[in-house]
Every structure is written in C-alpha cells, then in structure tokens.
Structure 1
Amino acid sequence: MHMVEYRRNQKQLRETPALPSNLTSNTAEAHLLLQQAIAEGATSLDTHEVQPILQAYGMNTLPTWIASDSTEAVHIAKQIGYPVALKLRSPDIPHKSEVQGVMLYLRTANEVQQAANAIFDRVKMAWPQARVHGLLVQSMANRAGAQELRVVVEHDPVFGPLIMLGEGGVEWRPEDQAVVALPPLNMNLARYLVIQGIKSKKIRARSALRPLDVAGLSQLLVQVSNLIVDCPEIQRLDIHPLLASGSEFTALDVTLDIAPFEGDNESRLAVRPYPHQLEEWVELKNGERCLFRPILPEDEPQLQQFISRVTKEDLYYRYFSEINEFTHEDLANMTQIDYDREMAFVAVRRIDQTEEILGVTRAISDPDNIDAEFAVLVRSDLKGLGLGRRLMEKLITYTRDHGLQRLNGITMPNNRGMVALARKLGFNVDIQLEEGIVGLTLNLAQREES
C-alpha cells in the first residue's frame, strides 16, 4: 500500500504545473517597505503594517485601521460600520489571547468603548511593562460557511524557510497540526501540499457549506512562497486566521518578523529558486529579438511543440537513436530540473501572451562540480541565425562562472555543423571514426584566460 501511495505521489509531482495568469508581485515595493521598517528599528510588523506587503504580492487582506484609544476606536467603528473587531497592538505580547486582546462582533459604540477599555486594563494588569501601540479596528469578516486556516513560515537552521499549512489554534504545534514544504513552490508543489494536508486531516476538505478551493489555496501558497524567496528580510510570517470562503482567501490577522539581511539570498534556501537574473534578451542575425532564460517546469507543452519542429535527422544527431515520441515522463525530466546541478537555457519567441521555444541547450554537472555534459538543439528551420552559437556561449559563461572546469559532449562525425561550431568556440575535437563519435571538450579555465 505504501508503494502504491509513493508511486501516486511521484506521479502527481511529475505532472506539468499550471501557470496562473493572475499572479502578481511587486518585489521592489515590498523590499522598500521592509527596508523602511528595518531602518526605523522595527523587528515585528502587525496586520496593518504587513497589509501593503501582502497586497504587493496579490494577497487579500481585511482593511484595518489604527485607534490610539477607546474614543478613536468608537469613531472608526461608526465610520466603517458595525459589527467590528478590536485587536491589541503590542510588540511585546506575541499572543493576544494571553490578555484576551481580541474582541469580536462588537455591534454598538458602547460595546466598542467597553471592549477597548477592557483590553487596555487587562494589559496593565498582566503585562505592565508592555508597550501598547493602540488597537486595530476591522470590520467583521463574513465567516458564514467559511473555513479558518493558518499559514506560517519559519526558518529552520538546516533547511532554511519552511512553509507550514494547517488550521492553527492557540496551542500551535506544527509537528502535529501542519504539513510542511520547502520553497520555492509552483502550482504542482503547492497543490501537493494542500492534498497532503487534507489526507493527513491537518486541514478539512470542506467547511459546513462548501468545499475548499484547492486551486485557490494552492495559488495563495505560491504567492507566499514568492514573497519569502524574494524577501530574505522576512524571518517569520504568521497568517492566522486565513479565511477561506469559496474562491476568496483573506488574511485577517498577520504577524511578520523582520531583520537585516546581507548574505546570499539563494544560499539560505534548501531548494534553489528559478534564477531570474539569468534571463537575457538576444538579437539574432535576422534582427529578431528572443529571450534566453532558464527552463521552467511549465515549459513542457512548448518543449513538446518545439521537438515536433525538429527533423528526424537532427533528433538522431542529438540522441544517437531514432526518436518516435517523447513521453510525459521524458519531457518532465527535461523541464523539471534541479538548478543546483543542472541548467537548461531555452531561447523563446514571445507572441502576445504566449511563448515559442526556438532552441535549447543544457549542461548536467557531476557531483564534484568539475565536469559537465552538454547538449544543444535548435529548431531545424531556424539554422543559420546564430542561435546555436549564442545558446552555447551563454551555457559556457554560466558553467565557467559556477566553477566548472570542463564542458564535455559527443556528436557524430557527419554532424558537420556541430563539429564546426565546437571548433569556433574553442573545444578540443576528438574524431573517433571506429567508434562513430566525435568527443568535444572545452577547458573552461583556459578559455577564460584566453
């Protein structure tokens, strides 16, 4: 039974990820807000302060106002309409429940005033030294038929950031109440996390009135992952509760711990994220501009279409055998790569909102990061535009910059185009007629010196 479950899980993880069209992110704005807060000496941000950061990544939050005292809380409540919720603002009291610092469903001015004064009185008695920055005032969210979830990001000293999903509670025990994933997440990995949460009963598949929107929750987890990957200043994120109501997910209460960060952003992550910095626009001999970028798991359909535009002869040169069809597993292996030990660059032409792959080059390094095996393939009807050479030059630069010493490949003696290109790029060309192969080796250190 465990083997069946394992195979099912592996199959799910190998599915081609969907590419949501409505994911938004404003990394520059989020960085600016975080840097400003750090410069002002802040180490923890509350819901009101986190709101614009989450919104920069397309996440919904409940509108929040700040009241300095009970009188101002009443004034705000009258403006936004009843019922309202009041929440304590104090950087010294991490769990508001310790002082009954959250009061819900307040329906009149008298109730708001009494609740606000009661919160302040309880803080004075239980935490006399605590700093109090007033109250948060929110309209009451419509909880009818909704489901309350919790999303937490914490830093592990070994694995770096961990994304945890559960239903939370006052006594939060992630080891018992949450499922965990390592960022970065794509839609496949996020969906897998949600399904695991449902299977392990860490979250419910439905509320009293409606089922959980698995796709919508998966997308929110991808947005959280993108925020964490992009912003190393974030030490901890706690969204609790996250209200799931149909296709809408709203963060009602959020805490964000922050600190200055000066190290290598990628080194703090157990799984290397998509390297955006390697994207590059290139002009071909015919004047057309195309984008060179690392391959993505979502590229599988485009890669299949690309291969269909390559002649059988060119495929034979590339794979040393006749290829009739590539399976989904084959294409998944080509697109779902570990950027730490493998790199594949695709040249893509953008037309409106779609992309078309024109060429692919890749290198797979050995465990010692000394040698890498390379391959390159260009669409058969696009030869002569310098596409193969430009792709190889990008791959050579990448492997050299990552400390590799040699780049190795093989081709056939009658693949004259590849042999000629290799010579132009400085490869040592070893023609082995008896074996029917040509060995290609580039000493990356020597090429850098020259």
Structure 2
Amino acid sequence: MPTWIASDPAEAAHIANQIGYPVAVKLRSPDIPHKSEVHGVMLHLRSAEEVANSAQAILDRVSLDYPHAQIDGLLVQRMAKRTGAQELRISVHHDAIFGPVILLGEDTAEWAIHKDAAVAIPPLNMALARYMVINAIKTGKIRQRHRPEGLDIQALCKLLVKMSQLIIDCPEIKTFDIHPLLASGDEMTVIDASMSIAPFSGDKAARLAIRPYPVELEETVTLKDGREILLRPILPEDEPLHADFISHVSVDDLYKRFFSDVGELNHEALANLTQIDYDREMAFVAVETILDDQGHATPSIIGVTRALSDPDNTEAEFAILVRSDLKGIGLGSILMDKIIRYCQSTRLKYMTGMTMPANRGMIMLAQKVGFQIDIQMEDGVVEMLLPLKR
C-alpha cells in the first residue's frame, strides 16, 4: 500500500489533497505499537478539513495519554478497497525451542495464536506454504467465504515464502506482524504492519529449527563437451524433475545403485529423495537448462550425488547416479568431487560407499580419488572407504 509520511496535520491534509480521497491517517510512534490504545487510526476521511482535524485529535490523545512517547509523524494512505476482500493476519513470533515461527489466520479483534492461527516453521517453499494454507482452511483458521474473487492460494503462498526468506536473511527481526492483510483474488494488500528488531551476532542459521536451503553451495561447472551445468542442493520442488531423471536411467544402472529392482518410484519414494534435512543429509543435483525452438528454458536433472551421515556425524554413506545416456562426459567425476568437498567441509571423518563388483566405472572412479576398496566376491559387494582430510 503506497504510504506517505507527514510531519504535522497541515502536511497530512496537503498530502491527502494530492493523492485523492478517501484516505486513512495513522500514528507513527515506536513507543505505541498498538495504535488502537490512542485511537491512532482514522479511516474514510473525505476532505482536507477532516484529515487535519483527525490528525490533530490523534496527536492530542497521545500527548494526554503518552506524554513522553516519541512521535515520528503521521502516515497517510489511500483507503484500500475492502469490498469483497478477506482480512487475514500473518505474524512472526520467536519460540524458545523452535526459534522463529510463522502464524497465519484471520484478522480478528481477539487473536489468540494457539486457537486462531496455523503454524509453520521456516524455511517455507511453495509446497510447504501451500500445506500451511490448506491446513488453515481445513481447521477453520481461515474460513472460505463466497466472494466475487475467492482466496488465491498461490498468491498467498508466494507472500508466505517471501516472508519466510526475509526472516531467514534478517536475524535481527524478532517479531513481525501484518494485520490486516487484504486478500482479494491474487492481490495481497498490506494495510498495516509492525516489526521489532534487536542486534544479532553469530550463525543466523543456527537459530532456525530447520536448516534453510544452502544457496552458497550452488556452483556452475563445465562438462568435457563444453556444456555448462548447475550443481545445487536438491529441493522438494525437484520431485517431478527427479522422476523424469530416473526414467532416463537404465534398469541395470538402477539395480547397481539400489541393489534391487526399483521399478517406477511412487510419490512417497520420490519425496524421501527430494525432501531432505540438510543438517544430516545432502544431495546435489546436476541441472542442465535446455532451450526449445521458442527459446523457453526447461531444467533437466542429469545426475545426482548424495551423502547421509550417521547419528554421531562421524561418517557418511555416499552414492552417485548419472543418466545412462550421458556417461563419459566427466559428470561422475564432477559429482564425486562435489560430494567429497562438501563432506570435508563438515565434521565428518570418513566417507563410505557400497557397490557391486560389476560396477567397474564406480570402482575405478573411487580408486582414482583415494578410496580404499574392499572387494567381497562371496557377498557380491564392494565396500569403499575414504578418510577425509581437513
């Protein structure tokens, strides 16, 4: 919502004349977070005289009830179109155990977070945000109403994801409250918001219950044939891309990777592969961007490497899988180098792996980078061990 700051009632009236009526005038004071305590919000003002008188009345009430409060002027806004809009509230609170939590519900006069709000822990992606919104609707935290433009769940999810990212990037934010949020179709209008901040030092990710997506681990590499690919941590949204990737891996290669006939992976299996806890597991995908005849870019996963650490975080079991039609272009070596460098950057002491004697390509690659190889022909397995250097 476009907002102007006025230093006094006269300037507020002048701004209102410039932006057009009706307008709202609001108190701006860090010492009075709840404007309702002094009737610090005046709505539907339709003339310069009404604006000036209402602004002066706000200042008079503050000087009477909060004589020592700091006043940083007055906010002037055009009145938002509330007809047909749903009034929601999004809030961020700090929990002693889980750290920052995001709350979502309807904007009510008596908002009790334990019964009126759905709760989620950042980081949120679009899938998790959608689950939060659907849960809020199913449990009555948000009531579906018959309006000309219904609630656009996709638009609300995008706002929740942006708010989650703001909390992750700015650990100084202690509380953040948006109320009301007018939701009308895909238009999300913030009518009022408040925030409290405090100095912060240390690891900003450590304060979160769930480690956020480690964007710093993304990198671009070049294959032997000159193609550039992106190496990045896997995301929950990669499920359809991962399913397509598996469809380009031969039955024989899948058997060598999983030690069984895999067949087509269902949603649950793909979710286990793509929705990971970055604190104890890491998976990197090699993503190639393909341009069609119209110049539209389509991402495609062509390789995956992952490492799963033990409960003591002493050793991690690794695995690598490359599309069967893309062998011989250096992708396996690139994925091996990426996962080794990642494990070296942690407290892990060893990397372990297991394959079959017939998987000569993996055995030769492991030997090349320093793995100790133990071939157990009777059991039909090859164990690989790499002491990690700091």
Answer whether TM exceeds 0.5 for this pair.
yes
Aligned to 2:67: 128
Deviates more, 1:132-141 or 1:375-384: 375-384
Q: Deviations over 1:138-187 (max 9, x none)?
A: 00001111111111112222211110112234443212221111001112
Q: Give the stretch that moved more between structures: 185-194 or 125-134.
A: 185-194
State the TM-score, normalized to the length of structure 2: 0.95
Q: What is the alpha-carbon distance in structure 1 between the residues aligned to residue 91 and residue 228 of structure 2? A: 42
Equivalent position of 1:70 in the other structure:
9
Structure 2: stretches of 5+ with no match in the other structure? 292-296
From 312, 316, 320, the counterpart of 1:376: 320
Q: 2:335 aligns with which of 391, 397, 412?
A: 391
AA of the residue aligned to 1:442: L
CA deviations on 1:64-110 (whole Å, 9 max, x unpaired) are 00111111111011100010000001111110000000000001112
Aligned 8 A contact 2:322 2:331 in 1: yes
Higher helix share: 1
Letter in 2 for 1:433: M
- Within the alignment, does 1:149 sit opposite 2:88 as a pair? yes
CA displacement at 1:206 relative to structure 2? 2.2
Q: 2:346 aligns with which of 389, 402, 409?
A: 402
State, as a whole percentage, how many aligned pairs show the same letter: 61
Aligned Cα root-mean-square deviation (Å):
1.4
Q: Which amino acid aligns with 2:114?
A: E
Query: C-alpha distance in 2, partners of 1:417/1:349?
Result: 23
- Which structure 1 segments of 5+ residues have no match? 1-61
Aligned equivalent of 1:415, options 343, 350, 359: 359
In the alignment, what sits opposite 1:432? 376
Tell me what 2:19 maps to: 80
Q: Using the TM superposition, give the Cα deviation of residue 347 of structure 1 relative to its aligned residue in structure 2, in angstroms.
A: 0.8
Higher relative contact order (CA 8 A, sep 6+): 1
How far the C-alpha of 1:199 sits from its partner, in A, is 2.3
Task: Name which of 261, 264, 285 aligns with 1:322.
Answer: 261
Partner SS for 1:97: helix
- Asked if structure 2 preserves the Cα contact closer than 8 Å seen for 1:147 and 1:207, the reply is no
Query: 2 CA distance for matches of 1:362 and 1:257?
Result: 40
Distance in 1 separating the partners of 2:361 and 2:132: 47
Q: Give the counterpart letter for 2:117 in structure 1.
A: A
Partner of 1:187: 126
Bigger shift: residues 86-95 or 206-215 = 206-215
The answer on whether the counterparts of 1:314 and 1:380 sit within 8 Å (CA) in structure 2 is yes
Check the 8 A contact 1:146/1:207 in 2, yes or no.
no
- 2:167 is paired with a residue of what secondary structure? helix
For residues 262 and 136 of structure 2, the distance between their equivalents in structure 1, rounded to whole angstroms, comes to 40
- State the AA in 1 paired with 2:27: L
Deviation for aligned residue 1:209: 4.5
Q: How far 1:293 sits from its partner (Å)?
A: 0.6
Asked if the contact 1:168/1:177 (under 8 Å) is kept, the reply is no
Does the alignment pair 1:106 with 2:45?
yes
Q: Is the 8 A contact 2:150 2:184 kept in 1?
A: no
1:324 CA drift (Å): 2.3
Residue by residue over 1:119-139, the C-alpha shift from the partner in whole angstroms, topping out at 9 and shown as x without a partner, is 011001110111111110000
